[in-house]
Structures are given as structure tokens and as C-alpha cells.
Structure 1
């Protein structure tokens, strides 16, 4: 087993020596930071492609290819020319012999020498392989896939969320890299702005990132997990974000000038490190990347990616918004024009109501519970338009939940109009086993729509979708301290086409959980 970074950092913190081992400690040179990162298990690809390769936002005739030139991953600015020409190639085979597209991209210091190549002219519904070349070096080879058109018999995809680097290795991403998938959806908290301690990820051993250079170094540390780079190279990704990409529990429309400057820095660094197609029509829109989008996987699945940070107001306001006026109008328009397909919303924070105990208040108003009127408006619109087959996939909670979605969660006679699956985290610490055992039944009693809760494990979800059924497999790792931890299926839930609500697979219903509603 590779050195266990989680316990090493905890021990260093207890000894008062955390600054000596944490790669982002202030004052370290890029070489010293890299040495510290490698001492706690980080590895990097061959320079200048140290951070790997990735693809994203697959469509029927194209995909977005990504890499970033970072010979010194922890340098705020790379010692490179202002412009470096990066060759790229796409082929029909892993040997890159049957080339279908190639070109040159000017990687600029302005965007950290990142590369975002929108490749078009590809065939629908097939795999392609790609690579980059710069400064005499060829990158690793990545694999991607375009979206199909027309009738589709099945789609298989995964979601991941919440990957606090100090809390454990990304064995979940190792599992994702080895899955047979069409694509991956990342639901947010790709990085954390806080320090090196484990637990609930909010203690600090160095100043929080404030500048583009600070956030670049943070992303470089997280990309040092080899399993994350493998998962990026194996499949195309769709992406949204939550709060820790900037700062905990932030509102994108609040704060003064210092915060807005920090947010812009975080957004730029995020864009520099992600296979993200910016703008809904391919036009660049920095410093405010356009996250929300709607994509089809043939006639089988309509994926709606939501941005629940950039446009939100403060919580608990009478006229508060989590979507913003424009995104809400766009979402409602899509609901009104929904095709006959499975409708999957990629949602970074819990949509379903969650009271902590019977008769108690909401637990976290940072999620949709802090925007009650807008939630009721949106879900009421889903119900009134008659849209069926809604499945919401969610991250953030570091625990697994399965909920029935109702237009009015306080009214048990309100009809079920969909299902929400909230997935375990990749590595970010959940509540303790004692907390989960005590509060699982309390949450179950307080929320009649809550069907399942399990908070003691880490992993990712895999979704198998056919015209008849949507199945969620909860994949869990054995130990986040082990980068090679085996992956197993904890349980599976099904949703039948045209029937609102989920049910647990009889073959896995005996698996451990802190709450399970039997009926």
C-alpha cells in the first residue's frame, strides 16, 4: 500500500508539524511543494503534461479536449513562452494510426497554458482516442466518446463528488476509470479551499487561496492523484460545481469587491483545469463560465446540468433564488418542451426537503431547503406540465440518500413526480458512524419521502438506463486510506419507466444502512 496520506497528515497535525508536510504551506518553492506532495502519495505525468489529459461535454459530432502545460505543477506561473503551440490528434484507434482530426492550439500564459480544443466533424455514438504534443513530448493517450443519435438501447454513466485530497485516496476514481461507461458526471467539490486536516475539512494550516496562482496550485495538488487522471483519460465528463471550488457556502451574487475578485480567480483556475466547453454556443464567457446546459444521449436520456452557485441569492429570503432568473426560465422552458425520454438533472446540492427530526427545522438551508418558494415553483411546473421519468442525481452530503420528489414535501398527499439519488463522496469525510446511527432513523421519521440513508461509506454511483428502467448502483470502496481499495456494490435501486418512485433491488436489500423505509 502506498503511504497513507490521511493518517500521515493527522499525525503531523497532532505533533504541530503539519506545515512541514502540507504541499500548499506558504513559502514553499514549486520544487519543495512537489516533493511534499509526492511524499504523501501524489504522482504526476511526464512534463509538460503533468496534470494529464481529459475530454468533456460530448455531443453527437464532437467533444472538448483538454490538457494544461505545467512542467512545474506548483508554480503559480510556468516558465514557458507566452504562447506555446500544442499539437493535438484524434483517431479511431488507440494506436492513433487512423487519424480523423488534428490541429494546433496556441496555449497562452493568460489562461495558464491550458488547452481547450472543441473538436467537430466526428461520427455519433463511437469511441475515439486522442493525444497532445508540445515541447517535443507526447502526452498520455486519452479515450472519449461522442453522443449517439436516434434510438438508443442503453446508456451507462457514473457520477462522482466531494474529493477532499487530505481525507483519503481516490480509489473511487480508480473504479470509475475501470468501469464500462459512456460518460461521467462530476457533481461538485472537485477541490477544497481549506487546509490539510481531515474531519469536516474546514481547518487550515496555510492561508486560503485568493489569487489565480493560489487556486492553480490547489488544482495541481488534486490532479496529483493518479486515479483522478485515469478517470479523466478513460471517459468524457460533464461538470458542474458546488461551493468549495471557491469558498464554503458562498453565494455567487453576494459579497464585496474582495470576494468578487477571489471568485473570479477561482473560476478562472477551475476553467483552466477542466474539460469544460465554455459558453452555450462555443463562445468564451470568462470570468463567469456558463455551466448549465442540456444534452441528449440519443432518444433515451436528456441530461440537464445545473449551476446552483453562480446565480443564487442569500438563503431564506422571501424572493430568494438558487437558480437565478435566467437559468430558472431556461429550466422551466426545457421542462415544458421535454421530449419523451428519461430526464436526468445533475444537481450539486440536495433538492429534496430534509428535516433533522420530527417537527424540527431544516438541516441545511445552503441546499434547496433555503429556497422553498423557488423549489415549489420549479417542481410544481414539472407536475403541471406532466413531465414524467425525472431522476435527479446529487452530491454534497458525503452520504447516500434516496428520496421521492414531491411538489410539496410537507403534504404527504402531494404526488410523487420523480426520484433523487444523492451519492456517497469520493473521499470527503462524512459524519461519524454514531451520528449516522442516531440520526438516520430521526431523518427517516421526519421526512416521509426519504426511502434510504447510508452514511458510513465512500464511493460513486453507476447508472444503467434502458427504455424500460433506470437503475442506480451504489459503488463503495473498502478503505479510502488505500489507493488500490477494491470496489463493491452496496445496493441498487430501480425506477420503472412511466412509474414515479424507486424501489430497492431485492438482491441487495439486506445491505447495511442507517435508514430504510420498508413498505
Structure 2
């Protein structure tokens, strides 16, 4: 088959002088022209008005959050809809929606982009359900979800994804996630990219220019709608319930949620609103705006405790003696949770790398937008983990566009310091990684500079599947063959295990000869 590549199409359009005809969010395009341009880049949409699909999120033992958003013209600045549209919803125990267990009606208002967030309660724990919406005489696709169990369970499987730049390729990884037998999905951030465009090409590919980026609610809504135009992403949302956190590109590259003047705070508010409108997110209060609450603890039976962190909203500037990545309130919340943690696996959903990462032996450089820019607080948190006696800690991370496996130590510069957990950093869905030459050269340098680093592989794209039993935590690195191919097959690159009660990971012997730029023997 002919393989399309969004990046190649955009570059070819630039050479032909036809950029504004191919980038869907270019200024001056009508909604129909924008959609035609998106479809030329491989996008498509569900039938109107449910063009962006359906989703569920934040599953709990008796409840789950259902989501959809009415957008008959997904890439329009304004939707031609009444101010309020009544949306019917239904939940059933069968995919034909015949055995209905809950139904109702929810208002979709223009104020929130005609989005619908329905917290359905009174459900049975550990049970699979199907759901759908109806509005304006039309019915949505049918979604599938699951509630959390409460009893002892023999196994939980879940997937983690991150970093899915639309202009960098097709979401074959999400197609893989949709077909996985998993209980839920964790998205670790960079769901969209806010990059500006120069003449229609994303500025990410024209690095010596800074074109117009996204600033308003309408801008961010259209960006989310473009990303939802990938059918595989909609399939993954419809197949499983999701837990969500965010990183920087949902708003602006490397931003601090507490920094910047009024123009930036307005931009942040616009980004947060559009993110909420387009995600199956359940907030703890009566309204998620202006600041959705991301951090939360959820349990999957007695087997797994999931702690979702927000590492953007409350952080200070980097490299300050008293700097914070968590913020005072979230830090207190996290340490209290460590003190009260049950006897189970403890998984932290962490958008940016927790482990130290020096660039080369003897070098002082570290990428300080991640936890390396907040050394004092990281040390405080990890020492608290050690003093509390918390065991079986696994941190799952995104952001790097490459796969890492790290031992977590209370002091990464002291190889004799206590080993308190394992961090798995997953490949990106599509977002461009460093070149193969860079990875080949720098993988060994990073390995020698970071004695806690066990594995690095940066030439591939995909997602992770985690399989958890009372005895073992296994990380399966799923990779796609080619991000130019929306139907790219998925294979398992390698698998790492962590045994219950024993800090530290080891690679499965069956996959230990798989390609990598660094592995510690």
C-alpha cells in the first residue's frame, strides 16, 4: 500500500508552494476547506454531530465518567448549534444496549463547547458496560467501559500512551491499544501540541521561525478536533476507560502553571478549558474550570493503587533552592498518601522523568524541565518513600519520546543509597525522537553517566502494556513498525519485570537480545 506521512505531505506542500491548502488549521480556510485539508492528511470523523467520538474515564467501583462533544463541523471556530442541546445517554450490560442499567439526559452548552460529562453512578464493581449518546435525532457510536473491582483480583492489565504529535505520523499505536485486552488506559501527557505554523507548516519542522500558535479557546478546540480526526485515537477512547494527566504541550512548551503575566494566564485558562471540553475527565468539584483537578488516587481492587500526578499546574521556576514541581498542597497530599498506602502495588502516573539523567560521564548537564530541575523536592519525596517503608513502587512516565528503564534511588549520585522503585519511560505514539545516529552515540554515554539507567531505546514508537499480578509487575514495550502507516503492525520489543517485595527490575530472558542503544548487563 502507499504509505502517507503527514510530515512528508507538509514538506512536499511547502516545496510546491501550497502550504495553506494542506495544513487544516491555516488562517482563512472555511470549515469545509479545513476538513478537506485534514482528510488529505489522513483524518476522518464520525457522523455528525458526534464527529469526535465517545469516551469514558476515571473508572471507580460504582461509577464511571462518560464523555462526548457535539461538533457537526469539527474544525469550525463556532458550531452552528443551539445554545443548549439536550443529549440522551444510555448504559447497558450488552453491546446491543438492550439490557439497560442507567439512562438520562444531560445539557450540552455552548459555554463548554457543547461537551457532555456524565458521571454515571450506581454501577456494579468490576463490570464491563457499553454506552451511547443521542442528540439532534442522531445516535453516536457505541463505547465500551469498565468499573473498578473492589475485591482481591488475580490480575490487572493497562496501557500507557504519551506524546502524539499529529503532524509526525499516524496513530497506529492507538489502534493497537484499542485492540488490547486491558482494563484501562493511562495517558501521560502531550495529547496535543500547541506549536505555531509558518505558512501552514507546524513550527516544529521549521525550527528557525516562530509562527502563530494557539491562544484562544477556539484555537485549542480546533487543535483537539484535528487530533481526534485520527480514527485510531477515537477507537482507543471508545474501547477502554482512560485516566488522564497532562504535560506542557497541552498549553505551551515547558510552561510553569504559576508563572507568566496576564496574557499567559489567559492562554492557560483557554487551554485548560478546551482540554476539559475534549477529555473524559471527572473533576472533584462542581465545576472543573478554571483549573481542572488532575491529581488523584484510584484503586483497582486490592492489587493496585494508582496515583495520578499533575506536574505542570503548581510548579515554580526550575533550579531554585526551594523550587517545587508539585506545589505545596499536592506535595502534602502525596506524602500523606505514601504514609497511608495499602499493601499493594503502587503506580505513579508521572508525565516527565523522575530519575536523574546526566548527558555524559562527568557532565553536569541535566534537562531541568523534568524532576532534575527540582532536586531538593525530589530528594524529599524519595526519602519520604524510603522512611515510610513503602514497597513495590513503579513510576510510569512519558515525555521523552524514547524508552528508558531506571532504578529509583533516594540519591542518584550515590550508588549505595536505598533503591526504592522502578521507573518505566514509554516510547511516544508519534512525536519525533532523536535521530538514530544520536541514539547510537548518546545511549552508551547516558548509560555510563547514570548507573541507575538499565535500558534505553530511542529508535521506535509505540506504547507500553503493564501486566500486574500479586507476584510480579511486567512492562511490555509495544512498538509499531512504521508511523507512516495507519495500519502498522504492533510487536513487543522487550519486557521487563519487577518482583513483589524486591526493588529493581530485570529484563525477560526471552527478549533480552532485542535491539537497544543501551542495556546494562
TM-score (norm 2): 0.97
The answer on 1:396 being equivalent to 2:399 is yes
The Cα shift of 1:16 comes to 4.2
2:480 pairs with 445, 459, 477, which one?
477
Residue 87 of structure 2: aligned partner: 86
Distance across 2 between alignment mates of 1:200 and 1:189: 17
1:205 Cα deviation from its structure 2 partner: 8.3
Q: 1:180 aligns to what?
A: 181
Question: Cα offset for 1:15?
Answer: 4.0
Tell whether the 8 Å contact from 2:203 to 2:209 is kept in structure 1 after alignment.
Answer: no
Task: Tell me whether 1:380 sits opposite 2:383 in the alignment.
Answer: yes
Q: What per-residue deviation string (whole Å, max 9, x for no partner) do you get for residues 148-188 of structure 1? A: 00201100000000000010000000000000000000000
Q: Counterpart in 1 of 2:335?
A: 332
User: Does structure 2 retain, via aligned residues, the 8 Å contact 1:302–1:342?
Assistant: yes
* Cα 1:422/1:507, change in 2 over 3 Å: same
* Matched residue, 2:64: 63
Distance 1:328 1:308 in 2: 11
Residue 13 of structure 1 and its aligned partner are, at CA, apart by 2.9
SS of equivalent residue, structure 2 residue 315: coil
Q: Does 1:368 align with 2:371?
A: yes
Cα distance in 1 for residues equivalent to 2:492 and 2:64: 31
Matches within 5 A, 1:145-164: 145-164=146-165
Provide, for residues 236-294 of structure 1, a one-character-per-residue CA deviation record: whole Å limited to 9, x for no partner.
Answer: 00000000000100000000000000000000000000000012xx4223110000000
Q: In the alignment, is the contact (CA less than 8 A) between 1:18 and 1:205 conserved in 2?
A: no
Distance 1:68 1:138, change over 3 A: same
The residue aligned with 2:251 is 246
2:26 matched residue in structure 1? 25
- State the distance in 1 between where 2:358 and 2:15 align: 35
Answering whether residue 498 of structure 2 is matched by residue 487 of structure 1, we say no
- Say whether residues 1:39 and 2:40 are aligned partners: yes
User: Where does the alignment leave 5 or more consecutive residues of structure 2 unmatched?
Assistant: none
Among 266, 277, 281, the alignment partner of 1:261 is 266
Distance 1:346 1:283 in 2: 24
For the pair 1:319 / 2:327, whether they are aligned, the reply is no
Residue equivalent to 2:190: 189
- Please state if 1:107 is matched with 2:112: no
Instruction: Say if 1:443 and 1:90 are closer, same or farther in 2 by CA, change over 3 A.
Output: same
Equivalent position of 2:509 in the other structure? 506
In structure 1, the residue matched to 2:352 is: 349
Deviation at 1:206, TM superposition (A): 5.3
Aligned to 2:222: 217
The secondary structure found in structure 1 opposite 2:511 is: coil
What displacement does 1:12 show? 1.8
Cα distance in structure 2, aligned partners of 1:351 and 1:200: 28
Give ranges in structure 1 of 5+ residues lacking alignment: none
Q: Cα 1:312–1:200, aligned 2, differ >3 Å: closer, same or farther? A: farther
Q: Is the 8 A contact 1:347 1:394 kept in 2?
A: yes
Q: Distance in 2 between matches of 1:202 and 1:32?
A: 27
- Deviation at 1:445? 0.4
1:139 maps to 140
Q: Which of 494, 497, 500 is the matching residue for 1:497?
A: 500
CA contact (8 A) 1:86 1:106 kept: yes
Q: Is the 8 A contact 1:26 1:206 kept in 2?
A: no
Residues 233/95 of structure 1: CA separation in 2 closer, same or farther (3 Å cut): same
Hey, what's the Cα distance between the residues in 2 that align with 1:198 and 1:96? 45
Judge conservation of contact 2:359–2:446 (CA < 8 Å) in 1.
Answer: yes
Provide the rounded CA distance (Å) in 1 between the counterparts of 2:458 and 2:316.
30
For 1:398-444, what per-residue CA distance to the aligned partner results, in whole angstroms no more than 9, with x for missing partners?
00000000011011100111000000000000000000000000000
